[in-house]
Amino acid sequence: MKTTQQVKRVKFAIIGAGSAGLTAWSEIKKQTDDYVLIDSGPLGTTCARVGCMPSKALIHIAEHYQAWQGAAALGIELPAQPILHDDQVLKRVRRFRDRFTSGLIANTTDKLSEQHFISGRAVVYPNGEIHVDDHVIVAERIIVAVGSKPIVPDGWSANLGDLALTSDTIFELETLPKRLAVIGLGVIGLELGQALAYLGVEVMGFDAQGQVGGLQDPFCNEFMLEHVAKTFPVQINQQVVPLRVQNQVKITYQGGEWLGDKVLLTLGRRPNSDWRSEALQNLTVDPVTLQLGDLPIFVAGDASGFHGILHEANREGKTAAQNAIHYPVLTGSKPLTPTAIVFSDPQLCRVGVSFNELDPREIIIGSFDLNCNNGRAIVMDQDYGRIRLYADRTSGRLLGGELAMPSAEHLGHLLAWSVQTGLTLNEMSAMPFYHPVLEEAVQNVIDTMLDEFNAEQGLTKN
Ligand SMILES: Cc1cc2nc3c(=O)[nH]c(=O)nc-3n(C[C@H](O)[C@H](O)[C@H](O)COP(=O)(O)OP(=O)(O)OC[C@H]3O[C@@H](n4cnc5c(N)ncnc54)[C@H](O)[C@@H]3O)c2cc1C
């Protein structure tokens, strides 16, 4: 133990004032005043500052601009082509960001006294010591919710300097680049790449593998790859290394060379680990209780490495707080049906059991191609997309599926709720489906799967 400093003793320490940490804090402060919240900054949460919210603000503007470009196809003649002021677009995104972060900070850390909030980077030791700059805090129980950061391979930033962007820096741009490469076409790369392409940036996408937006089912992924290539050129199965050449980025790939102004690195995110003292380096986090090894330390949110999405960060924050409060009695909160949404065009959604986990012998698979016939999609001029659903061959229960279609953010929720409540194909088929709506595409899949299920069971449809 450090001896020169004054030691502060508390029952609970929460490290990280992001979404998971603040959820944990709101649970802890209901129980006691004997806590400290520690954050290294910047405050305001990844979600509001550089994540969910600024990205969706940018996507919203891009979708509008794109829609106006297509007005002529609807028989609408605009008096002039819409003009995009990229500096104003980016200012608007930052205005939203500031609104979200300032409201959040005002209602949380700003309200805390020095006794309850410490600003600084924390390092945790197995004996409950937490070192924050010159402070030493000894906590009986610790919640670690320190988030994650974008993956940037060694040497890339040093070589590329300010030509390399990540989701941490892109929203700080004053103007949009003319030509931009996006390396990594997972969720964040796809969302931002498409939005920027719709805003007039000449985007070129690269991915080391052949999946986009985290899709696993080849039926949906194949469609999405083809569709994305209509919105910006994409090179898949290409392991590329961007290089700085004077003031430009150069990327050499099989079949060509790309030169442009900037590169957006969206290679995934890695849990922050600099909070771990050496003795904690190799300890693992229990996926149910979130306990680190057998210590009174609980790791929540992106820092746990399990989910990397907001609603799970909040759930884990609550679980970690409850387990810290009731330690050594530990529980896990009921797992939610996995639900992941991508705000691309068209939107993507994955719910329930994923394609890679399925045993094809035990499931019925249903598919639908949106260009086949869905009246609503046709009149919306969005009759492109695919649906794939999986049901248990024995019970007929819906297990999960993937959507690549307009409004997948809403349809995906209906499907996730159906999976979580254990609905069968029979029960889902008996639900109301209005006309004309996109949900009729789901109805079509459910009915086809139900026919197959009933035929196998020797039943007729109700
Ligand atoms: C571009 C982008 C778009 C996204 N879009 C979505 C979306 O649409 N939907 C969705 O569900 N999720 C989305 N996410 C993911 C979501 O934002 C994260 O899962 C969520 O914000 C994680 O919250 P957290 O509490 O774990 O971490 P954070 O909010 O990052 O909080 C971690 C906190 O810990 C502090 N900290 C770090 N290290 C230390 C230390 N050693 N000592 C003290 N403090 C420390 C940091 O300053 C920070 O305040 C997106 C992410 C990105 C980047």
Residue 370 has pLDDT above 90, yes or no: yes
Q: Mutual orientation of helices 86-107 and 52-69 as an angle, nearest 10°?
A: 150
Closest atom, ligand 1, to C-alpha of 43: 49
Handedness of CA 168, 313, 279, 39 (dihedral sign): positive
User: Is 406 a pocket residue for ligand 1 (Cβ < 6 Å)?
Assistant: no
Q: How far is the CA of 22 from the centre of ligand 1 (A)?
A: 11
pLDDT in tens, 19-29: 999 999 999 99
Q: One-letter amino acid identity for 262?
A: K
CATH architecture assignment, domain 7-150+270-326: 3-Layer(bba) Sandwich (3.50)
| Residue bearing the CA closest to ligand 1, atom 5 | 52
pLDDT at 461: 53
Closest atom, ligand 1, to C-alpha of 46: 29
Residue 5 has pLDDT above 70, yes or no: no
Residue 4 burial (C-beta neighbours within 10 Å; 0-12, 13-18, 19+): exposed
Residue 6 has pLDDT above 80, yes or no: no
CATH architecture assignment, domain 339-456: 2-Layer Sandwich (3.30)
User: Is 213 a pocket residue for ligand 1 (Cβ < 6 Å)?
Assistant: no
Would you kindly state where each structural domain of the chain is located, as residue ranges? 7-150+270-326, 152-267, 339-456
Residue 52 has pLDDT above 80, yes or no: yes
Q: What is the mean pLDDT of the chain?
A: 96
Instruction: Supply the pTM of this predicted model.
Output: 0.96
User: Is 419 a pocket residue for ligand 1 (Cβ < 6 Å)?
Assistant: no
User: Is 166 a pocket residue for ligand 1 (Cβ < 6 Å)?
Assistant: no
Q: How far is the CA of 251 from the centre of ligand 1 (A)?
A: 30
Closest atom, ligand 1, to C-alpha of 317: 25
Q: How far is the CA of 69 from the centre of ligand 1 (A)?
A: 34
pLDDT at 459: 79
DSSP state of 115: T
Q: Residues 347, 341: contact at Cβ < 8 Å?
A: yes
pLDDT at 334: 80
User: Is 19 a pocket residue for ligand 1 (Cβ < 6 Å)?
Assistant: yes
User: Is 41 a pocket residue for ligand 1 (Cβ < 6 Å)?
Assistant: yes
Q: How far apart are CA 281 and CA 277, in angstroms?
A: 7
Q: How far apart are CA 337 and CA 328, in angstroms?
A: 27
More confident residue, 102 or 5: 102
Q: How far is the CA of 198 from the centre of ligand 1 (A)?
A: 26
Test site for ligand 1: of 59, 118, 146, most ligand atoms within 8 A of the Cβ: 146
Q: How far is the CA of 439 from the centre of ligand 1 (A)?
A: 33
pLDDT in tens, 389-402: 999 999 999 999 99
| Residue bearing the CA closest to ligand 1, atom 53 | 51
User: Is 325 a pocket residue for ligand 1 (Cβ < 6 Å)?
Assistant: no
User: Is 17 a pocket residue for ligand 1 (Cβ < 6 Å)?
Assistant: yes
Does this chain's domain 7-150+270-326 share its CATH topology with 152-267?
yes
Residue 108 burial (C-beta neighbours within 10 Å; 0-12, 13-18, 19+): buried
pLDDT in tens, 217-235: 999 999 999 999 999 999 9
User: Is 187 a pocket residue for ligand 1 (Cβ < 6 Å)?
Assistant: no
**Mean pLDDT, residues 356-367:** 96
User: Is 345 a pocket residue for ligand 1 (Cβ < 6 Å)?
Assistant: no
Q: How far is the CA of 7 from the centre of ligand 1 (A)?
A: 29
CATH architecture assignment, domain 152-267: 3-Layer(bba) Sandwich (3.50)
Residue 385 has pLDDT above 80, yes or no: yes
pLDDT at 83: 95
Q: Which residues contact 396 (CB under 8 A, 6 or more apart)?
A: 424, 425, 426, 450, 453, 457
| Weakest mean pLDDT among 71-80, 208-217, 274-283 | 71-80
- Of 284, 335, 333, 336, nearest in space to 305 by CA: 284
pLDDT in tens, 419-460: 999 999 999 999 999 999 999 999 999 999 999 999 999 976
Which DSSP string corresponds to 50-112? TSHHHHHHHHHHHHHHHHHHTGGGGT---SS-----HHHHHHHHHHHHHHHHHHHHHHTGGG-
